Amino acid sequence: MSAGPIRLSREARTALRPATTARITGGFWAARRRVNAEVSVPQGPDRLERAGNLANLRAAAGAAPEESGFRGDFPFQDSDVHKWLEAASWQLADGGEGPAEEELSRQVERLAGLVAAAQAEDGYLQTYYQLGPDARRWADPHWGHELYCAGHLLQAAVAHHRATGRDGLLDVAVRYADLIDATFGPGKDETVCGHPEIETALVELYRETGERRYLDLAGYFVDRRGRGSLGDGPPEGSPGPRPGAPYWQDHVPVREATAVAGHAVRQLYLLAGAADVAAETGDTGLRDALVRLWEDMAATKTYLTGGVGSRHELESFGDAYELPPDRAYAETCAAIAAIHFGWRMALLTGEARYSDLVERTLFNGFASGVSIDGERWLYVNPLHVRQDDEHRKAATGDQNAHRTPWFRCACCPPNVMRLLASLPHYMASGDAEGLQLHQYASGSYEAGGGAVRVGTGYPWEGRIAVVVDAAPPEEDWTLSLRIPHWARTYEATVGGEPVAERAENGWLRLRRRWRPGETVVLSLPLDPRLTRPDPRIDGVRGCAAIERGPLVYCLEQPDQPAGLRLDDIDLDPDAAPSPEHRPELLGGVTVITALALPHAVAREGWWPYRSGGTGSAWASGGPKAPEPVPVTAIPYYAWANREPGAMRVWIPVRTPPG
Amino acid sequence: MSAGPIRLSREARTALRPATTARITGGFWAARRRVNAEVSVPQGPDRLERAGNLANLRAAAGAAPEESGFRGDFPFQDSDVHKWLEAASWQLADGGEGPAEEELSRQVERLAGLVAAAQAEDGYLQTYYQLGPDARRWADPHWGHELYCAGHLLQAAVAHHRATGRDGLLDVAVRYADLIDATFGPGKDETVCGHPEIETALVELYRETGERRYLDLAGYFVDRRGRGSLGDGPPEGSPGPRPGAPYWQDHVPVREATAVAGHAVRQLYLLAGAADVAAETGDTGLRDALVRLWEDMAATKTYLTGGVGSRHELESFGDAYELPPDRAYAETCAAIAAIHFGWRMALLTGEARYSDLVERTLFNGFASGVSIDGERWLYVNPLHVRQDDEHRKAATGDQNAHRTPWFRCACCPPNVMRLLASLPHYMASGDAEGLQLHQYASGSYEAGGGAVRVGTGYPWEGRIAVVVDAAPPEEDWTLSLRIPHWARTYEATVGGEPVAERAENGWLRLRRRWRPGETVVLSLPLDPRLTRPDPRIDGVRGCAAIERGPLVYCLEQPDQPAGLRLDDIDLDPDAAPSPEHRPELLGGVTVITALALPHAVAREGWWPYRSGGTGSAWASGGPKAPEPVPVTAIPYYAWANREPGAMRVWIPVRTPPG
């Protein structure tokens, strides 16, 4: 069994179970994972050292009296270390051998040792409160992030244990979890943490240790939320808004909620944790609530890229259909949280739509979070940057659309690292009938009593070959292939013969007696598509986006003709966009060329609104027909890897003259 | 001479000078001013008492040892009192007589007395720093708001002196101004205040006292900004963005700036102060910069309502053409600041366009800030509230689109009060040639050596009658009438005869030998208009707004047929909207009825984006032609006076099938 997240207990009641073995060996994700393994993850310890995180651990251990003060701006600095340890552990679980792996192993043990040494006698571990001048444990549930940090520690410890088999960090986690269990619960401290995360972590610790108290505590935390234990939040001294209960995820019990709301990462970490609880307990009421909330998120609050979180203000979800492309927050961590939630829902229900959205988020709003070279990061992932974005040019903060080597609030980089390092485990699942392929990446997967090998150039190519290496020899076995929701057609063969089965609800289920080595070929259509928004999405009315396969495309300044202003064009919807693979560009991408029609309108006078009759002369560009200009779109995930400039996913579409 | 703001010195070098007498006696603004005088202003002292502002003054005076702690959340609480005193003083300057005026006069003297008593020995006056536990004067230029509060005190004192002739509050202001002048300046403390306001106030104090040092200090502060005296701002403990230099208006010197940026109110208070400096010094370099900045604001960063400030985040301007209707911040105070700036530019340059925008802001983005009954306020003024705006329903903070009786940060209510109380002084001006009418309100105005009376039902009616009561008997004299930029035609008569003159650059200049009692009639066209945005304004692409005269209209839920969802309609651009005056509705408004076409589209599946061919079937409502439904628009300023519900200014326009 290869090590990964979500190792369900035997008692878990889910439709599907994660693959027992999952390896990605080639193609798109292998390349991204190689950069993660060779650049991003190895840089972690130095970044953490420079940001002060490791000094905090040494100081808490009393090992370095000269480092006695807390470093960093946030009480949750330790979680960056925990998340890196989780990422590096999943990386070690990949099983490579060589000097790089040995060095990584040394770093993991060094940092795990720092964490262990920092733990207090009674099991407590958060350096901000161990070192802070006015340190008071558990006194600030709103901003303290204590259970949040504990959650990441638990996840790191589980990953470390699964990857290395060593007990050291797991012992630290168990001691801390026992302290938390002794501190929180009915009749004890009944306050929840302002930032969910402990829930999913406690379930995973239960899975790893078999200690039922952890699952029970996770369930307690899930149900304790939304009952006002955080009050109205702390008084704020700034003129900004008071965060309010949705920010802390304390506005409504999960079971009663009808809409995702508040801080996007907090909401989705909570829902992932609730899905873990539902998976282990079989609680159908909780599951139904999660289905409802996922549907609300997907249908009304998700960007085309899979990104979520419409507001910079409070890093929060907006109203239904409030999806502005320019001010999209779409935090990288929120994309990751949506993937965590979605994959758990896929396992829980067996439905393909959850993996449809996971695929979209992976290839777009998640992959954009790290640069092609693996060295720089995006905190926010907008779908539109204007030509004259003065704010971006002057950007210094985390929340601007600039790639930077690290953030003051460095939650995103190690979060990307841990998802990429564990990514093989999001590809396939199994059940009593057979094996399900949720995502298409060259590699090998074992689940449901069988084993397959996948070979594909996806997403650049639509052909996916699946070799059934092992299946029960004496009985029917089902290989299920997800037909992505964007695919309007598909073709499938077994041994070169078209299959008779048709996909239902997103699954093409091929049930038969398999001979080892038999090959299935699935062909997905990769013609570029123009995609329109629901008319209620006000922020992109009158626009279209270019997509191809699972990839959302964008226009970025460096690829356009000199002098073309991306703010001043319409897309010609009648010109068919054409793809071309460019192996030398941005690590190798397929670009798409389309035709644009520059606005004929020039700025007149001082007022940007014009009253007129019933025509739409202004909006459609004036009387003079403009000359079409070719524009070139790149995959959205690859933007912001060259000089800063304008970018847009949604392009105004020239409307017929009215 | 009737008392009002901006009493230019004799040396001032402006194209126009404010009217010497200005009275509004009837019509729209008289009604709004009556509510201000009878409801809003009289409620002030009680609101200030309940919010703790008056207790702070008593405590600073040492008069109430039991009230020793500072009350309120912000260091600038005193400014609410100062702004109320300014408002009440302008109200007293209206010159009414009766029990209400006597009571108001008593309250003004009582509060002015509290302010005077709170002043420290050396002239300092800010209770937050006089009472605070870690009080340190001038130590926190970013958040301290000390010069900001001082500015409002100076303005209150000038108003009080002009209105009552009494010296008490002016003496307080002079003592404080002298302390500031002794503390700040070249070779002294060279830091600027994080919130501009002192600049405009010092110029006005110079005008009232003739003390040139105050003008010089104002000029110094204007030019000191943008030179990094505030550094990068204070370290912040919150995960939000660090405000950065534009927030504090310290990113670029005013003379070098090419774009309005940062916190909208701070930016515009600064520009108003710079315009005051330019007016008094004749500094053409400064004036040119102000023209450039106004043009940037008007052409790229102003809502149709005249509101400014596109981002909740940091209450700031956005990029050029970033004007989302739903997340418009458009703070009421920013509208007021834009009016302050615009009126000063109108005087400085004599150009009509500044008063065009002042009119638009007054009737829309400013007037919306206070309820019809004068008791409740809006802090933010969005142009779109969705049907299912969960955030609004749960709103408790200042920054939500809920009218509330007072705010935690109560800057807006007394700001509205002071503008309404001094409004007559924004109507007319004079120069060596004659008198200019900038705004149309029934009343009497003296300026430029003449006097006129205006009678009009504007903005409900387009007929404006101007009687010339006095003009130089032996020479030509010019009555100038602003032809609003929204007016595509107009008619004008003198003594019933059409005039030969035509408007140039927004001014219809009628130069002749006038006989007292001669009447000019200007008729402006009030047919409803459909207005389109510049195609670069992404947030409202494909939409139109309904306007009539200077009024922007909106659809609000209570006026629509039962069951109609404002999120789900297109406007039929071919159906002519029709107006109807409804004296019983919302204090008397002209409503406009138009036809809407409900979207035929129903939500399908879980994904709100749809790939298709080149058609726009989804966007234009599907194959089935919907039945048109009448919808009724009300003036934007009157929204949010009934039960909360959806509202929108910009309405999607049905596009012809593509």
If phi > 0 it is left, if psi is from -120 to 50 it is alpha, else beta; for residue A563 that is left
**Interface touch B618/A574, C-beta < 8 Å:** no
pLDDT tens, residue by residue, B225-266: 999 999 876 654 444 456 788 999 999 999 999 999 999 999
* Confidence band for B616, pLDDT divided at 50, 70 and 90: very low
* pLDDT for the residue B2: 81
Distance in angstroms between the alpha carbons of the first and the last residue of chain A: 63
| Distance (Å) of CA A500 to CA A351, A482, B414, B488, B502 | 22, 16, 75, 68, 80
* Confidence band for B612, pLDDT divided at 50, 70 and 90: confident
Find the largest Cα–Cα distance for chain A.
80
**Interface touch A324/B327, C-beta < 8 Å:** yes
Look up residue A40 and give its two tokens: 């991003």
Residue A490 in this model has a pLDDT that exceeds 80: yes
In chain A, % of residues over pLDDT 70: 93
Residues of A within 8 A of B318 (CB-CB) are: 327, 391
* pLDDT for the residue B617: 42
* pLDDT for the residue A604: 65
Helical ranges in A135-283 per DSSP H:
146-164, 168-183, 198-209, 212-224, 245-248, 264-281
* Confidence band for A614, pLDDT divided at 50, 70 and 90: very low
For an interface test with B, which of A317, A534, A540 has the most B Cβ atoms less than 10 Å from its Cβ? A534
Nearest CA in chain A to B505: A605
**Helix, strand, or coil here: A447?**
strand
pLDDT tens, residue by residue, B364-381: 999 999 999 999 999 999
Residue A600 in this model has a pLDDT that exceeds 70: no
Find all residues with CB under 8 Å of A575, minimum gap 6, and list them.
A594, A595, A628
* Tokens 């600041």, located at residue: B337
Say if CB A437 and CB A446 are below 8 A apart: no
A146, A204, A315, A556: which one is catalytic? A315
* Confidence band for A308, pLDDT divided at 50, 70 and 90: very high
Find all residues with CB under 8 Å of A68, minimum gap 6, and list them.
A59, A131
Look up residue A440 and give its two tokens: 């298409």
Strand bridging mode B569-571 / B651-652 = unpaired
Say if CB B447 and CB B19 are below 8 A apart: yes
Q: Positive or negative, the Cα torsion across A289, A291, A292, A293?
A: positive
**What's the mean pLDDT when you consider all of chain B?**
93
Identify which of B272, B288, B398 has the alpha carbon closest to the alpha carbon of residue B336: B272
Give how far A129 is from chain B: nearest CA, Å: 15
In chain B, % of residues over pLDDT 90: 84
Structural domains of chain B ordered from first start: 17-235+243-385+396-426 (1.50.10.10), 434-523 (2.60.40), 529-652 (no CATH)
Instruction: Quickly list DSSP for A200-219.
Output: HHHHHHHHHH--HHHHHHHH
pLDDT tens, residue by residue, B320-340: 999 999 999 999 999 999 999
Residue B623 in this model has a pLDDT that exceeds 90: no
Interface pTM, i.e. ipTM: 0.93
Give how far B533 is from chain A: nearest CA, Å: 5
Look up residue B245 and give its two tokens: 């230099």
pLDDT tens, residue by residue, A161-216: 999 999 999 999 999 999 999 999 999 999 999 999 999 999 999 999 999 999 99
Residues of B within 8 A of A302 (CB-CB) are: 608
Look up residue B73 and give its two tokens: 């959340």
pLDDT tens, residue by residue, B543-558: 999 999 999 999 999 9
Amino acid letter, A477: W
Residue A620 in this model has a pLDDT that exceeds 80: no
Say if CB B241 and CB A399 are below 8 A apart: yes
Say if CB A228 and CB A250 are below 8 A apart: yes
* Confidence band for B346, pLDDT divided at 50, 70 and 90: very high
pLDDT tens, residue by residue, A504-521: 999 999 999 999 999 999
* pLDDT for the residue B393: 61
* pLDDT for the residue A624: 60
Residue B410 in this model has a pLDDT that exceeds 80: yes
* pLDDT for the residue B572: 92
* Confidence band for B415, pLDDT divided at 50, 70 and 90: very high
Give how far A311 is from chain B: nearest CA, Å: 9
> Can you tell me the mean pLDDT for A609-630?
65
* pLDDT for the residue B634: 98
Instruction: Supply the angle between the helices B412-421 and B28-35 in degrees, to the nearest 10.
Output: 130
> Can you tell me the mean pLDDT for B461-489?
97
Identify which of B505, B513, B548, B501 has the alpha carbon closest to the alpha carbon of residue B527: B548
Residue A54 in this model has a pLDDT that exceeds 60: yes
* Confidence band for A473, pLDDT divided at 50, 70 and 90: very high
Say if CB A508 and CB A501 are below 8 A apart: yes
Residue that wins the pLDDT comparison between B286 and A604: B286
> Can you tell me the mean pLDDT for A13-29?
97
* pLDDT for the residue A387: 85
Residues of A within 8 A of B261 (CB-CB) are: 390-391
For an interface test with B, which of A76, A238, A411, A606 has the most B Cβ atoms less than 10 Å from its Cβ? A606
For an interface test with A, which of B541, B555, B654 has the most A Cβ atoms less than 10 Å from its Cβ? B541
Which range among B192-196, B280-284, B603-607 shows the weakest confidence by mean pLDDT?
Answer: B603-607
Which range among A97-111, B56-70, B487-501 shows the weakest confidence by mean pLDDT?
Answer: B56-70
Residue that wins the pLDDT comparison between A494 and B67: A494
The CB-side HSE value for B250 (13 A sphere, CA atoms) comes to 21
* pLDDT for the residue A616: 43
Identify which of A307, A456, A494 has the alpha carbon closest to the alpha carbon of residue A382: A307
Residue that wins the pLDDT comparison between B212 and A622: B212
Amino acid letter, A613: G
Strand bridging mode A651-652 / A443-447 = unpaired
Identify which of B344, B373, B368 has the alpha carbon closest to the alpha carbon of residue B358: B344
Peptide bond just before A459 cis, omega within 30 deg:
yes
Nearest CA in chain A to B300: A608
d(CA A553, CA A632): 10
For an interface test with A, which of B70, B387, B399, B607 has the most A Cβ atoms less than 10 Å from its Cβ? B607
Residue A493 in this model has a pLDDT that exceeds 90: yes
Amino acid letter, A440: Y
Identify which of A474, A477, A513, A472 has the alpha carbon closest to the alpha carbon of residue A495: A513
Residues of A within 8 A of B311 (CB-CB) are: 312, 327
* pLDDT for the residue B61: 95
* Confidence band for A236, pLDDT divided at 50, 70 and 90: very low
* pLDDT for the residue B357: 98
| Distance (Å) of CA A655 to CA A172, A449, A541, B64, B192 | 63, 55, 12, 70, 51
* pLDDT for the residue B395: 56
Nearest CA in chain A to B546: A611
**What's the mean pLDDT when you consider all of chain A?**
93
Identify which of B206, B226, B224, B225 has the alpha carbon closest to the alpha carbon of residue B215: B206
> Can you tell me the mean pLDDT for A132-157?
91
Residue A118 in this model has a pLDDT that exceeds 80: yes
For residue A102, count CB atoms less than 10 angstroms from its CB and return exposed for 0-12, middle for 13-18, buried for 19 or more: exposed
* pLDDT for the residue A397: 63
* pLDDT for the residue A553: 98
Amino acid letter, B81: V
Residues of A within 8 A of B384 (CB-CB) are: 538
pLDDT tens, residue by residue, B85-111: 999 999 999 988 899 999 999 999 999
Identify which of B417, B424, B420 has the alpha carbon closest to the alpha carbon of residue B84: B417
Residue A456 in this model has a pLDDT that exceeds 50: yes
Residue A487 in this model has a pLDDT that exceeds 70: yes
For residue A209, count CB atoms less than 10 angstroms from its CB and return exposed for 0-12, middle for 13-18, buried for 19 or more: middle
* Tokens 């659809």, located at residue: B555
The DSSP call for residue A650 is: S
Of A239, A241, A567, the CB nearest to B74: A239
How many other C-beta atoms lie within 10 A of the C-beta of residue A411? Answer: 21
Give how far B141 is from chain A: nearest CA, Å: 15
The DSSP call for residue B404 is: B
Chain centroid to CA A293: 17
Residues of A within 8 A of B567 (CB-CB) are: 321, 536
Identify which of A111, A154, A151, A164 has the alpha carbon closest to the alpha carbon of residue A3: A164
* pLDDT for the residue B118: 97
Residue A240 in this model has a pLDDT that exceeds 60: no
Say if CB A244 and CB A232 are below 8 A apart: yes
d(CA A609, CA A588): 43
* pLDDT for the residue A398: 67
* Confidence band for B518, pLDDT divided at 50, 70 and 90: very high
Give how far A485 is from chain B: nearest CA, Å: 9
The DSSP call for residue A553 is: E
Residues of B within 8 A of A256 (CB-CB) are: none
* pLDDT for the residue A621: 46
Of A311, A315, A535, the CB nearest to B652: A535
pLDDT tens, residue by residue, A78-111: 999 999 999 999 999 998 889 999 999 999 999 9
Of B240, B384, B658, the CB nearest to A656: B658
pTM: predicted TM-score of the whole model, two decimal places: 0.95
**Interface touch A386/B653, C-beta < 8 Å:** no
* pLDDT for the residue A238: 41
Helix or strand (DSSP H, E) at A579: strand A578-582
Give how far B261 is from chain A: nearest CA, Å: 9
The CB-side HSE value for A289 (13 A sphere, CA atoms) comes to 21
d(CA B147, CA B141): 9
Say if CB A527 and CB A548 are below 8 A apart: yes
Identify which of B18, B33, B23, B5 has the alpha carbon closest to the alpha carbon of residue B367: B33
